[in-house]
Amino acid sequence: MGCLEFLKDFFLGFWDYETPKMMVVKDRKLGVIYRAVQFMVITYFIWHVFISQKAYQETETRPESSVYTEMRGVALLEDSIQDTTEYARPSEGGDVISTILRKEVTHDQTQGTCAEHYSVANANCTQDSDCTKGEIDFDGHGQRTGRCVPYYNDTFKTCEIKSWCPIEEHAVVREPALEQAINFTVFIKNNIHFPKFKVLRGNIKSNKPKKLLRCHYHPKTNPYCPVFSLGFIAAQAREKFSELCRTGGIIGVFINWKCDFDMDPSKCIPTYSFRRLDMRKNQPSSGYYYRFAKYYRKDGVEYRTLIKAYGIRLDVIVHGHAGRFSLIPTIISTVTAMTSVGICSIICDWIMLTFIDKNEVFSGKKFDDISKEPSQPITEDLTLTSYGSTHSDLSDGVPL
Amino acid sequence: MGCLEFLKDFFLGFWDYETPKMMVVKDRKLGVIYRAVQFMVITYFIWHVFISQKAYQETETRPESSVYTEMRGVALLEDSIQDTTEYARPSEGGDVISTILRKEVTHDQTQGTCAEHYSVANANCTQDSDCTKGEIDFDGHGQRTGRCVPYYNDTFKTCEIKSWCPIEEHAVVREPALEQAINFTVFIKNNIHFPKFKVLRGNIKSNKPKKLLRCHYHPKTNPYCPVFSLGFIAAQAREKFSELCRTGGIIGVFINWKCDFDMDPSKCIPTYSFRRLDMRKNQPSSGYYYRFAKYYRKDGVEYRTLIKAYGIRLDVIVHGHAGRFSLIPTIISTVTAMTSVGICSIICDWIMLTFIDKNEVFSGKKFDDISKEPSQPITEDLTLTSYGSTHSDLSDGVPL
Amino acid sequence: MGCLEFLKDFFLGFWDYETPKMMVVKDRKLGVIYRAVQFMVITYFIWHVFISQKAYQETETRPESSVYTEMRGVALLEDSIQDTTEYARPSEGGDVISTILRKEVTHDQTQGTCAEHYSVANANCTQDSDCTKGEIDFDGHGQRTGRCVPYYNDTFKTCEIKSWCPIEEHAVVREPALEQAINFTVFIKNNIHFPKFKVLRGNIKSNKPKKLLRCHYHPKTNPYCPVFSLGFIAAQAREKFSELCRTGGIIGVFINWKCDFDMDPSKCIPTYSFRRLDMRKNQPSSGYYYRFAKYYRKDGVEYRTLIKAYGIRLDVIVHGHAGRFSLIPTIISTVTAMTSVGICSIICDWIMLTFIDKNEVFSGKKFDDISKEPSQPITEDLTLTSYGSTHSDLSDGVPL
């Protein structure tokens, strides 16, 4: 065959349409099985993939989010008034904000020498030789001077240390908890942007200027008012507020945006959930506290007031998920669905050939054994004739 | 058939090759339709999946990122010099940094008693009995003492409260905005690591030590200089700087790494974009401010200077996306593409059997109705003969 | 055909089962190739998709995570004791915590006038006219007063500026590094929640109250003790601690949760890895420092102590990945695998028709050319006969 001839053949053949030859089995049992299996597979796919998972949508799961938090509330603690500036830290209003609920204050520490706490290893002493000069115990408060001194106004003695004096354990003043903080509110402004869909959403409505800070969140009546009292948050997280006052705790504020932009974007309203994030079951290690100091100077000497603050830390965590119809995922999901339907054929072929086809009527029809009636002599590189003729009844072998 | 015989049959059959029988329809119309549909599907797939989506690549979308920020600039505000330490908070240089542009300062507050602000509910009074002792108004500044006192130097009276005195609304000093801050710069160092591809990239080049802090970013001429002036940032975010000075605002700094590691990793340079994150349309609630205090002590009494700071908060948000050729996604995408082409066959089969096949030439050839010529008597468990013979012309029924 | 007839036909046809007719090629060469290719594809899929990638699992990659950090340790720096409150910042114990290792302190700055640093552009002067009044150099420290003054106690002169005086470069005191900090420990509590699987895990065990802060992490012997010394962290990140003391640095602490919930969730223990995040190769720009100030007041004048702090910033980054068996991904993966096996048929068809089928035995059998024996006259809208008869040997054209 010449090259030109070949190209012509190829060109003409290119425009032919090829379609598989099918065998129609008029067996109602098989037909019912086939349709039933097909129905189940299709139903499952439509339900799970298209309705439940919305596989026809293009999705965006990592939106750009910005959080601004602001605490509000005033309370009286013993004789002093606590306002936002006093109990909210850090002050910048980011996505992590903590409220101090209880303080253990050590006033007026200075760099100097004083007695080590008696619970520190090897701190108890009776004479100077019991204290190693220059030693720093990891769990202690400073470097030993090598002297043994009376423990503040007590009768026993401990090693003297160079430290911030007096040490916290001795001089600490435990203030009562700020139980009134249960009414403090936190305003959580969250704006979210889905770059793929060019949609910008916020959790507040635009038209109410002053009302905003005075409202209280309610999923039904007030969904656009992200103001939560600490008591509400604790209750939602199933924690006792008084317990939180005692040990402190970290509570996650989850803002969930689940948006379907095939519908009106304005219907995309976030839901809020609250969960305690520091494990509760193991009491010894749960809780939240931190230490900070305020520094003063008097006559050139630096003083500090050390504060061990127990409180609630709110971690605002934003989850966003948005979807919108798109052609490509629809096609891919449909193709996957249709391909899955192919499983039905495999099952039914297997049923047909194994259970129904007792007389090999179907297999004889379905499988055209090429060695049965060779129309032309076969060339040598085919080992087909050599065993094909002897095993002519094996053609119903192994369907995939 | 013996078991040995069966196994032998199975073994020989296992090495047979099965391939579907095809019918070639020499209909040019159909062929053209088939090829055209095929061409469209393939083109779309190659373009969308392989070129646009790069589905042949393994991707990594959550890189490890580290951000370090540093503000620079000096400005004169009234009579005092503002340097970084004064206006940048928090100082640690993390991915959120704020610049104070305008302050409302309340000097020398102490814990004491003073008159409540007149705008607070029920704060106006004429006699002591108008004020409930011990009451704390949520929007007020402290706890009422039960006395009615003159409002500072004014003629009217309000309830006296225990609070940080004097109250902010009365004693606040509004400082002018730090307009010169438009020239302040922020240096944003960002390093990114794609663990899957073991690639580490940074947004600065290694070889210029001192130049770095003095350059200015330009996408073309200076892509490796991540130093941005606040004016540049505001302009890019389409905000007026003077407006930002007045109300404050949160601006997102988006660093986008879109890396194709099939090319040289050094070509992977980030782009920067800026967008205001607190919604702008609703003026009342947009803006950014926070309160903090500086504490002093004089003669054992604690004083604080309360500062309400308006400013720009920059939230640095890093997006990373990297891809590199990998076999498995390529195979999966190719298989999906090829399977999608199967849709063409379904369409063309439908066209052929419905519109073209008027004389049932094709359907007769395509569908081999098994009941037409039963070569052997059919056993009882087949209901096939019972209706098959009467409906012999139904074989061109329902192609999938 | 009547409508009723048609519906009846359709209904009966609907319950027929269609299955493709297959040709069995009894060619062992081809069979071996086919099975070999099939084997390879299946093996690869099972290994890669099912074992290596666990494609039968539903996965969750964005768990809710909460981090709490606490520094511990005491050290002596020159004559003063450094405890947590002094060197750890910010104090709130979030996922970013920094330790100050070296300070450059400028004591007692006040707002006033003093000489500009000589390295600032145009700061050197001999007479007042060299200094432009009101000018603020971006790299300088303040606004020029227009006077030329002696540079502190030196003999040369620079322009006088309004600034925080004395300027940092002149008055700074470089303190030695806190080398003892190598023994400081950081306790990193991390709790993680996979909402999809409703599993909550923490990196500490519940039963050891006081031991916890005293233990040291070891992957084998102490996996539930997330206490790391700074020396350990530096070593793991392959950094010299003394070098870090000098320049500072940002180290990422990666907590990796890789959980397989088909097994017992309690086997899900995190691994820790450490990597320096600010690039190391380019010395000039690597390192970590920040400036902050402590404010004092004396006789109504505000003083500040400016501190340039070099240190280690630890960025705790949590990665979570969990999977559990689920039906849908299993089906989808299986279908994809089975479809991929279809590639084998294409390869083998091509081999068969191109290399083996010299006498067109197979192609004659496989492709039923419909124009060969038209049983009925073809209608006009078929262009089939017009060329079909002349090219009857082209039917083995182009298999897909």
Q: Is A162 on the interface with C (CB under 8 A)?
A: yes
Contact C22 B21 (CB under 8 A): yes
Strand runs (DSSP E) across B203-300, as ranges?
A: 227-229, 249-260, 271-276, 289-298
Per-residue pLDDT, A28: 79
pTM: 0.82
The per-residue pLDDT for range B39-71, each reduced to its tens digit, is 888 887 788 777 887 888 888 888 888 899 999
Q: Are residues A346 and A232 in the same domain?
A: no
Q: Are residues B257 and B342 in the same domain?
A: no
Q: Which of C312, C382, C386 to probe the B interface (max B CBs under 10 A)? A: C382
Nearest to B136 among A75, A208, A397 (CB): A75
The Cα of B212 is separated from the nearest Cα of chain A by a number of Å equal to 29
Most confident of A22-26, A52-56, C85-89: C85-89
Tell me if C314 sits within 8 A of C248, measured CB to CB: no
Q: Are residues B308 and B275 in the same domain?
A: yes
User: Would you list the DSSP string of A29-81?
Assistant: HHHHHHHHHHHHHHHHIIIIIIIIS-TTEEEE---EEEEEEEEE--EEETTEE
Per-residue pLDDT, B359: 65
Cα–Cα nearest to C275, from C290, C253, C260: C253
Q: Are residues C299 and C204 in the same domain?
A: yes
Per-residue pLDDT, C210: 59
Neighbours of chain C (3+ CB pairs under 8 A): A, B
Per-residue pLDDT, A290: 92
Q: Is B352 on the interface with A (CB under 8 A)?
A: yes
Is the residue at C215 inside a domain?
A: yes
Backbone phi, psi, residue C75, to 5°:
-150, 155
Is the residue at A223 inside a domain?
A: yes
**What percentage of chain A carries pLDDT values higher than 70?**
86
The per-residue pLDDT for range A355-391, each reduced to its tens digit, is 776 667 777 777 766 653 444 444 434 333 333 333 3
Chain C residue whose CA is closest to B66 = C277
Tell me if A17 sits within 8 A of B31, measured CB to CB: yes
Token pair recorded at residue C265: 């969730």
Tell me if C361 sits within 8 A of A370, measured CB to CB: yes
Which long-range contacts (C-beta less than 8 Å, at least 24 apart) are formed by B344-348? Answer: B344/B34, B344/B37, B344/B38, B344/B41, B345/A19, B345/B34, B346/B400, B347/B33, B347/B37, B348/A17, B348/A19, B348/B30, B348/B33, B348/B34, B348/B37
Residues with Cβ within 8 Å of C183's Cβ and at least 6 positions away in sequence, in order, are A138, C73, C75, C229, C230, C231
Tell me if B308 sits within 8 A of B248, measured CB to CB: no
CA separation for the pair A383, C390 (Å, rounded):
34
Angle between helices A327-351 and C327-351 (to 10 degrees): 80
| CATH code for the domain in which residue B210 is found | 2.60.490.10
Contact A26 B141 (CB under 8 A): no
Return the residue matching tokens 């908070």.
B89
Is the residue at A232 inside a domain?
A: yes
The mean pLDDT of chain A is 81
Contact C24 B14 (CB under 8 A): no
Q: Are residues A75 and A192 in the same domain?
A: yes
Residue C248 lies in domain: 64-107+172-325
The per-residue pLDDT for range C68-105, each reduced to its tens digit, is 999 999 998 888 889 989 999 888 888 899 999 999 99
Q: Is B29 on the interface with A (CB under 8 A)?
A: no
Q: Which of B26, B179, B201 to probe the C interface (max C CBs under 10 A)? A: B26
CA separation for the pair B286, A209 (Å, rounded):
10
Tell me if B145 sits within 8 A of B160, measured CB to CB: yes
Tell me if B162 sits within 8 A of B64, measured CB to CB: no
Contact A79 B111 (CB under 8 A): yes
Which of B268, B303, B325 is where one domain is finished? B325
Q: Are residues B298 and B314 in the same domain?
A: yes
Q: Which of A14, A16, A104 to probe the C interface (max C CBs under 10 A)? A: A16
Residues of chain C with pLDDT under 50: 372-400
Neighbours of chain A (3+ CB pairs under 8 A): B, C
Is the residue at C103 inside a domain?
A: yes
CA separation for the pair A26, C18 (Å, rounded):
9
Per-residue pLDDT, A304: 92
Cα–Cα nearest to B178, from B71, B276, B305: B71
Q: How far is CA B360 from CA A195, B364, C3, in A?
A: 54, 6, 19
Contact B361 C374 (CB under 8 A): yes
Nearest to A297 among C296, C338, C367 (CB): C296
Cα–Cα nearest to A65, from A189, A205, A224: A189
Q: Are residues C91 and C204 in the same domain?
A: yes
The tally of domains found in chain B comes to 3
Q: Are residues B92 and B176 in the same domain?
A: yes
Per-residue pLDDT, C385: 34
The Cα of B14 is separated from the nearest Cα of chain A by a number of Å equal to 6
CA separation for the pair C284, C290 (Å, rounded):
16
Contact A365 C208 (CB under 8 A): no
Q: Are residues A242 and A343 in the same domain?
A: no
Angle between helices A28-44 and A327-351 (to 10 degrees): 150
Chain B residue whose CA is closest to C28 = B15
Q: What three-state secondary structure class fits B136?
A: strand
CB-based burial label for C207 (10 Å; 0-12, 13-18, 19+): exposed
Which residues 190-209 on chain A approach chain B with CB closer than 8 angstroms? 191, 193, 200, 202, 204-209
Per-residue pLDDT, A202: 86
Is the residue at B134 inside a domain?
A: yes
Q: Is C296 on the interface with A (CB under 8 A)?
A: yes
Token pair recorded at residue B66: 């580290």
Q: Are residues B233 and B281 in the same domain?
A: yes
Q: What three-state secondary structure class fits A264?
A: coil
Over residues A180-196, the mean pLDDT reads 90
Q: For each successive 10 residues of chain B (400 residues), what is the average pLDDT?
A: 72 78 79 85 80 85 87 88 90 90 93 91 88 88 91 88 91 92 92 87 71 78 88 92 90 92 87 84 71 88 92 92 86 76 77 72 70 43 36 36
Q: What three-state secondary structure class fits A342?
A: helix
Residue A396 has pLDDT above 60, yes or no: no
Is the residue at C392 inside a domain?
A: no
Q: Is C387 on the interface with B (CB under 8 A)?
A: yes
CA separation for the pair B42, B48 (Å, rounded):
10
Is the residue at C400 inside a domain?
A: no
Which of B298, B325, B352 is where one domain is finished? B325
Other Cβ atoms less than 10 A from the Cβ of C174: the count is 10
| CATH code for the domain in which residue A353 is found | 1.10.287.940
Which of B267, B299, B325 is where one domain is finished? B325
Q: Are residues B93 and B228 in the same domain?
A: yes
The Cα of B209 is separated from the nearest Cα of chain A by a number of Å equal to 32
Per-residue pLDDT, B385: 34
More confident call, A273 vs C279: A273
Q: Are residues C352 and C263 in the same domain?
A: no
Per-residue pLDDT, B287: 84
CA separation for the pair A74, A84 (Å, rounded):
7
The single-letter code of the amino acid at C165 is: C
**Which neighbouring-strand residues pair with B71?**
B186
Computed on alpha carbons and rounded to an integer, the radius of gyration of chain A in Å comes to: 39
Pairing of strands C173-174, C185-194: unpaired
B366: chain A residues, CB-CB within 8 Å: 19-22
Which residues 322-351 on chain B approach chain C with CB closer than 8 angstroms? 328, 331-332, 335-336, 338-339, 341
Chain Cα centroid distance, residue B126: 56
Pairing of strands A301-325, A249-260: parallel
Nearest to B359 among C31, C317, C378 (CB): C378
The single-letter code of the amino acid at B10 is: F
The per-residue pLDDT for range A66-91, each reduced to its tens digit, is 899 999 999 988 888 899 899 998 88
Is the residue at C185 inside a domain?
A: yes
Token pair recorded at residue B87: 């206006």
Contact A92 B111 (CB under 8 A): no
Q: Is B355 on the interface with A (CB under 8 A)?
A: no
Nearest to C91 among A142, A143, A291 (CB): A291
Return left, alpha or beta for B73; rule: phi > 0 is left, psi -120 to 50 is alpha, else beta.
left
CA separation for the pair B207, B202 (Å, rounded):
13
Tell me if A319 sits within 8 A of A331, measured CB to CB: no
Chain C residue whose CA is closest to B80 = C111
